[in-house]
Amino acid sequence: MNLIRLLLLALAIWLFTLVIKRYLALARRKRGETPRIGAMVRCAVCGLHVPEAEALKRHDQYFCSTEHRDQASV
Ligand SMILES: [Zn+2]
């Protein structure tokens, strides 16, 4: 019986940390911070700076959106 209680407690703690982590990640996103961002790159069309991970790349150029990527190819 004690073991089951212990397991339930561990489960509760695990769920609790999961919720906290999700909450912290959401709060961070709301503040506009992206965790572990790499280099910022510049959109070749409008000059907007976007994280490299979110930028669209074609050849040696980066773009902020699909619209700008398509615009540049015309
Ligand atoms: Zn752009």
Q: How many CA atoms lie within 13 A of 53 on its CB side?
A: 5
What is the distance in A from the centroid of ligand 1 to the CA of 64? 4
What is the distance in A from the centroid of ligand 1 to the CA of 22? 30
Output the pLDDT for position 72: 86
CATH class of the 37-74 domain in this structure: alpha beta
What is the distance in A from the centroid of ligand 1 to the CA of 69? 8
Output the pLDDT for position 42: 95
Output the pLDDT for position 73: 73
What are the tens digits of pLDDT across the range 20-43? 999 999 888 877 665 556 789 999
70 backbone dihedrals φ, ψ, rounded to 5°: -70, -35
Residue 4 C-alpha from the chain's centroid: 37
